[in-house]
Amino acid sequence: MANIALLNRCNLSCPYCFANGYLEDEKSDITRAALLRLLDFCAPEREVGIIGGEPLLHKDFDELLKIVNNDLRFQKITVFTNGVFIDKHLDSLDSPKICVLVNANSRDDMGDMQFNKMDENIGLLLKRTSARVSLGINVYKVGQDFSDFIYLLKKHRIEKIRVSVVIPNMALLREKKQSGIDYFMEMKPTLLNLYRELINLRVSPYYDCNAIPECVYTEEEKRVLEALPFYSEFERQIFLGKRSVCSPVIDLYPDMTATRCFGCYGMGRVKIEDFDSIFDLKNYFFKEIDSRLVHPYAWDKCRDCYKYKTFGCFGGCLCYKENR
């Protein structure tokens, strides 16, 4: 799935956000003509993500989302939002084609007022629209407190969530010189605390990127993962680390450029006019980034790992290898 960025602005300043280095002003907001061009480009995939910054900040958000929703080429539209402005756009979000993924930050990270607004808006989405609603948790620090997130899961009876093991910003990556595996080992106790909470609530988790390889976990820790409820066998296999890879997602920007994904933003930005289709562009990034970075070993275990040698595992996000 490709993501179309409507703008590069946000109302929050989350401590983990790796996008802070390129946020711009309203001059970079997407136009109707640019959106139509980008929709043509990514239509063959039949689904699309709407991202920012915070996409609901765009002054023409309702009109732009209506264009996407009315485009019969797309079967699924995922809107990524921090949830603060949802109440202003309930009508445009009211569609069974739309999935609203709320990145649910804590009170400490977004402030009481905005957290309460997000909480209220999740309820409005569930009660007043036909959109599918999911929450995302961004795990970004050792010992992270998940109590606010657990509160939201219980209150709104959410059954499925996206877990994102947040990639630190580029400056921090260069400073710490960690491998993707080093980072996973550091974050593992915190993640397991979250997973135990999910088991108790019977909430199903999934990754959309940065999946943790199974070799990171001990046998005892794997039993914790096995106890999690999963919606599908495919999601179970990914979450248990049986296949820890990602294909190029493709983020498309208002200026008609594209990157492989947020994590690889600094590895190259290209003009979409140089490519025939979204598939052509994905092949380009696979050759220029994935195939170049997959084989620098994440740790010694990778040397004799069949899965690693055959592109069944990347050993963490490729951005770690670019900065080592």
Chain centre to alpha carbon of residue 51: 10
The pLDDT value recorded for residue 170 is 56
Work out the angle between the directed axes of helices 147-156 and 112-128 (0-180°, nearest 10).
20
Cα 265 from Cα 194, distance rounded (Å): 28
> pLDDT class for 320, splitting at 50, 70, 90?
confident
Q: Give the neighbor-by-neighbor strand order of the sheet with 2-5.
A: 204-206, 160-165, 132-139, 98-103, 76-81, 47-51, 2-5, 251-252, 257-259, 270-271
pLDDT the model gives residue 317 = 85
Which structural domain range is residue 229 located in? 2-322
Predicted TM-score (pTM) of the model is 0.93
Q: How many structural domains does the chain have?
A: 1
Helix (H, G, I), strand (E, B) or coil at 24: coil
The more confidently predicted of residues 243 and 173 is 243
Average pLDDT, the chain: 91
Tokens at residue 187, please? Answer: 């974050």
Domain of residue 112, CATH code: 3.20.20
With a pLDDT cut of 90, the percent of the chain lying above it is: 69
Q: Is the pLDDT of residue 182 over 80?
A: yes
Q: Is 293 helix (H, G, I), strand (E, B) or coil?
A: helix
For range 247-256, the mean pLDDT: 93
Q: Looking at the predicted structure, is the pLDDT value of residue 294 above 90?
A: no
Task: Report d(CA 133, CA 91) in Å as an integer.
Answer: 15
Q: How confident is the model at residue 295 (pLDDT cuts 50, 70, 90)?
A: confident
